[in-house]
Amino acid sequence: MNAHIRRLILAVCGCLIVALGATPVAAHSGKQSYVYFSLFDDGVEGRIEYPAADLAAMLGVEFPSDPADAAVVADRFTDEIRQYTADHFTAGDGTSTWQIEFDAPEILAVAGNYVVVPFRADESFDSAPRSLVVEFDGIIHANDQKDALLIVENDWGSATFNNEDEPLAGFSVGRTVQDVQLTQAPTLSSMAGARGVGTDALRTSIDQLLFVVAVVLPVGLVAHGSTVRAPAPRVREAFRRLAGLLVAYAIGQAATLWLVGLGVIDLPVRLTSTLAAAALLVASLATFWRSRAHEAVAVGALSSVMGLGLGATFTATGLDRVSPLALLGFNVGVLAGALVVVALTFPVLLVLRRTIAAPVVLYGTAAVIALYAVGWLIERGASVDLDLERVANPLRVWPRNLWVMVAVLAAAGLLYWWTSASGRLRPLEGTTERASDGLGVADEELVSR
């Protein structure tokens, strides 16, 4: 194996090692309640999460272990759950106590099931409050062994986003009232937090991940306008072509992401997800087309469809209710996530491009992506559950998906070594011989003469 290929493999390994350093922390213990707040310039909302067994004891009901059955019970006792929560929870900013409206309870299938009671402050706000005075003694009033945590989940002012694990205060016997003063973070810190949300939006969306893979797949394995049976692309040309497609991707997804984020476009979630599945299908099928004269235009157009889904994610987080700078940070995060996917997959494709497995990798991967896209179209268009989330979970869950990449990288390195040792390396574009240099440095010098 030549030095260039070894450097590519080591670079990918470095990305994997660094990425594996971030391990998610489990939140719910099943033993305590949680009070979440999201603070926006135009309102305050949140939710209270009770362990189902604890709330059942308070109400004199029984929540089944099956989440679907528990949801039926929660729906039946909606009024009782709302009233119990109203009796044991108040919130304000220190100068006034807010009028709280409670929505219908839901079931969170974690740690033996939690009963979730969403709420919102029925008040007018000029800006997000920087002080929280919260009183909560749910479950605690009847069981002195129980406690609860106060968590600010989203707050642009303190650069807090999607926080589910770091509490600001706790409630227990004798400490059922908490006065929390929120910090004011620099704007750049808030933008950095929004960037993290954008990266997570791409990293946890299998549609978005597979779309990026579908874009880079033919670039790493097939020369421009050619087929996998023809000579392999040179690294320099492959990177040049990749750069152009990434620019098209960035422009396409940003255009619709901003339109949705600014409220110019507002499509139903089901339609948005169906369109994303259709765009993924077209992107995967494009791998089988021989002509790629307008591939940058095609990538840009398909990326604009995927941007609709990213915009829906942005608005779902509530970031559209804060500074437009949140949209900029989110967009940068999406691009950063896409670049990570490219950094992990493209070197592997370059390693494989001269091996005998190149056709199988190209068409096999494209076919799998196409099948997934068809499945998602059926699920979302016909409302049929094909259980694709469970099947796709290894590609979506962090850091499990990185171990998949470790296995793929190891297999690619071994296959390249075997193909090279057996003298069966695929020739490079512009040459007729099978050069031993996997990246074609010697061949490039020969052709330039």
**Cβ-contact 33, 51 below 8 angstroms:** yes
Q: What is the pLDDT, as a whole number, of residue 410?
A: 81
Residue type at 340? Answer: V
More confident residue, 407 or 201: 201
User: In this predicted structure, which of 71-80, 206-215, 292-301, 359-368 has the lowest mean pLDDT?
Assistant: 292-301
Q: Which residue has the higher pLDDT, 185 or 386?
A: 185
Whether residue 270 has pLDDT greater than 60: yes
What is the 8-class DSSP label of residue 299? Answer: H
Helix (H, G, I), strand (E, B) or coil at 120: strand
Q: Greater confidence, 448 or 42? A: 42
CB 45 within 8 A of CB 39: no
Read off the pLDDT of each residue in 48-74 and give the average, rounded to a whole number. Answer: 95
Does the pTM surpass 0.75? The reply is: yes
What is the average pLDDT score of the chain?
A: 85
More confident site: 311 or 25: 311
Residue-wise burial string across 156-189, b where 16 or more C-beta atoms lie within 10 A, e elsewhere: bbbbbbebeeebbbebeeeebebeeebeebeeee
Query: Rounded distance, CA 236 to CA 432, Å?
Result: 18
Average pLDDT over residues 167-176: 94
Is pLDDT above 70 for 65? yes
Domain ranges of the chain: 33-185, 190-427
